[in-house]
Amino acid sequence: MESLAQRLARPEILALEPFDIAAQANAAFGPDAIKLDANENPYPPLSDGPLVAGLNRYPEPQPERLTRALAALYGVDRESLVVTRGADDAIDVLVRAFCRPGEDAVAVPAPTFSAYAHFAKLQGARVVEVPLGAGFDFDAETYVAALGDVPGLKLAFICSPNNPTGNEVAPSQVLEVADALADTLIVLDEAYLDFSSMPSLAAEAAKRPNVVVLKTLSKAFGLAGARVGCAIGNPELIAIAARALPPYPLPSLSIEAAMAALAPSRRGIHEDRIARTIAERERLAPLLASSPIVRSARSGGGNFLFLEVEEPHALAQKLHALGIRVRFRPNAAPGGIRITVGTEAENAAVLAAFGVPAAAAPVRRAELVRDTKETKIAVAVDLDRAAPRRIETGVPFYDHMLDQVAAHGGFSLTLTCDGDLDIDAHHSVEDCAIALGSALSRALGERRGIGRFGFALPMDEAQAQVLIDLSGRPFSRFEGAFEASHIGAYPTEMTRHVFRSLADSMGAAIHVRVEGENDHHKTEACFKAFGRALRQAVRREGDADQLPSTKGVL
């Protein structure tokens, strides 16, 4: 018998396929499951502390600071952008603002992100599916030809890179559709564009009558749980769409989390994480393709891979048993599965599950943020990669010095500092040294399998000698003096402090002796020699499990 709810519900709701909430529930997996099913960013946000103060107040209906930060990020005016509760919400808002139930239609390529059709059906709009071409490539001409005569076509979606296949759509193709379908809004979903080499159409959308671009902080900025996205288009269109928003779409906590993620001091690490994800994606694709159970593996332009496999059912069971969550896409392509690119450790588990021998050594990487009233610092080091090196302390000479340390140390360093330079360079210089030392210490972990000791020497007329022991015991000695008080904005007296801070935060003995005539040379010699000494000390050597100490502890 029909229930009351069934009798009262709108037919469009009853016709909707329910989300398979149970299958996605955390309880279906153990707490340690490897989550590679939802294209989330595997790295937690770089924000800190409780953000609960002020929850007695309503948030701003359109949070001004966040709107401006997003507009700057995407290169548009604030009037061209409306902040939504994730890009999902933007899709819903557009459909509700523009589609009349029972009359209007929405076009989607197939396969693509399922939310477009879902929200359209919810609103009672017709969904017109246009199959993608061979290899899931999007072709503007095919799309336009299929949609030319559709009555009441209000929205045509294009997803680039496409979920779940990863295919990228060139901006020229999108604009070709926009020109040909002048009475339809073309909605370009750029949820994954940060992982792609395609340029964004955000700025173009702000100028055009019928292009809307969707953005989200869920994927690239690791904020899926905060629900922050936006729609970008010409100001009039955006103002009309915004009428369909609830009064206070974004919780204050989400606004704060987004502002923290977008802080200038965090930018370097976000870019570094994106670069790692892309590198992992490109590394994994051929490895997974070599698995006997995989027919094809496409890397595409997102933070995920799309695989076609021989026996999806058996594979699903196997991965489930191993506690690895991936997304099976039976409607997208026969045997299609989508796997999010995770951390190196998570990806190693995936390779093992597909029977691909994984590369050996564990990652020696650390990220940390250090925020005080005086400085806000984010730093990432990877001892086994030489790139990238990106250092922005706000003190150009010091940037150059720390770059020497990383270059000669042979490790990757991303360090950004937003400090109180209006007072002087002291806090920034010292705090960056502390943060760098802490990150190096963390990346070294238990300090197994390393050289431990390092030393190095000369530079032109100056000579610096730096001796290091990564002993776990801080000790610092500095012998040398400088004539000038500053090199650029960098106070020469800080060099002594920097090595002291490094010794303390790394847990290392660092002895520096420098002499010569020119302060610039002498300072540079210290940092270069330190980098060289560090290179030897952190180098993997001998047995990876062996502690380089007869005491058995460092």
Which residues of this chain interact with ligand PLP, rule CB under 6 A?
39, 86-88, 113, 159, 163, 189, 191, 216, 218, 224, 229
Within 10 Å of residue 260's Cβ, how many Cβ atoms? 21
- CB-nearer residue toward ligand PLP: 342 or 449: 342
- CB-nearer residue toward ligand PLP: 218 or 277: 218
Q: Tell me the closest approach of the beta carbon of residue 37 to ligand PLP, in angstroms.
A: 12
Rounded Cα gap, residues 341 and 222, in angstroms: 13
Q: String of b and e for 349-361 (b: at least 16 CB within 10 Å)?
A: bbbebbebeeeee
Q: Is 149 helix (H, G, I), strand (E, B) or coil?
A: coil
Q: Tell me the closest approach of the beta carbon of residue 87 to ligand PLP, in angstroms.
A: 4
Q: Tell me the closest approach of the beta carbon of residue 193 to ligand PLP, in angstroms.
A: 10
Strand ranges inside 361-429, DSSP E: 365-371, 375-382, 389-392, 412-419
- CB-nearer residue toward ligand PLP: 301 or 516: 301
Q: Is 51 helix (H, G, I), strand (E, B) or coil?
A: coil
Q: Tell me the closest approach of the beta carbon of residue 515 to ligand PLP, in angstroms.
A: 58
CA triplet 214, 218, 221: central angle to 5 degrees? 105
Q: Are strands 463-469 and 509-515 parallel, antiparallel or unpaired?
A: antiparallel
Q: Tell me the closest approach of the beta carbon of residue 110 to ligand PLP, in angstroms.
A: 14
Rounded Cα gap, residues 220 and 506, in angstroms: 31
Q: Tell me the closest approach of the beta carbon of residue 213 to ligand PLP, in angstroms.
A: 11
Per DSSP, helices labelled H in 16-133 are: 21-24, 64-74, 86-98, 115-122
- CB-nearer residue toward ligand PLP: 86 or 394: 86
Q: Tell me the closest approach of the beta carbon of residue 88 to ligand PLP, in angstroms.
A: 3
Q: Which DSSP string corresponds to 449-466?
A: TB--EEEE--BTTBEEEE
Q: Which helix (H) or strand (E) holds 434?
A: helix 426-444
Q: Tell me the closest approach of the beta carbon of residue 474 to ligand PLP, in angstroms.
A: 44
What separation in angstroms does the CA of 138 have from each of 108, 177, 188? 11, 11, 13
- CB-nearer residue toward ligand PLP: 45 or 229: 229
Q: Tell me the closest approach of the beta carbon of residue 89 to ligand PLP, in angstroms.
A: 7
Q: Which helix (H) or strand (E) holds 133?
A: none
CA triplet 240, 245, 249: central angle to 5 degrees? 140
Query: Cα-flanking dihedrals φ and ψ of residue 461, to 5°?
Result: -75, -20
> DSSP character for 335?
T
User: In this structure, what token pair is assigned to residue 104?
Assistant: 């209007």
| Residues whose CB is less than 8 angstroms from the CB of residue 15 and which lie 6 or more positions away in sequence, other chains included | 121
- CB-nearer residue toward ligand PLP: 158 or 401: 158
- CB-nearer residue toward ligand PLP: 47 or 218: 218
- CB-nearer residue toward ligand PLP: 47 or 163: 163
- CB-nearer residue toward ligand PLP: 159 or 242: 159
Residue of closest CB approach to ligand PLP: 86
- CB-nearer residue toward ligand PLP: 213 or 506: 213
Q: Tell me the closest approach of the beta carbon of residue 218 to ligand PLP, in angstroms.
A: 3
- Helix then strand then coil, in percent of the chain rounded to 5, is 40, 20, 40
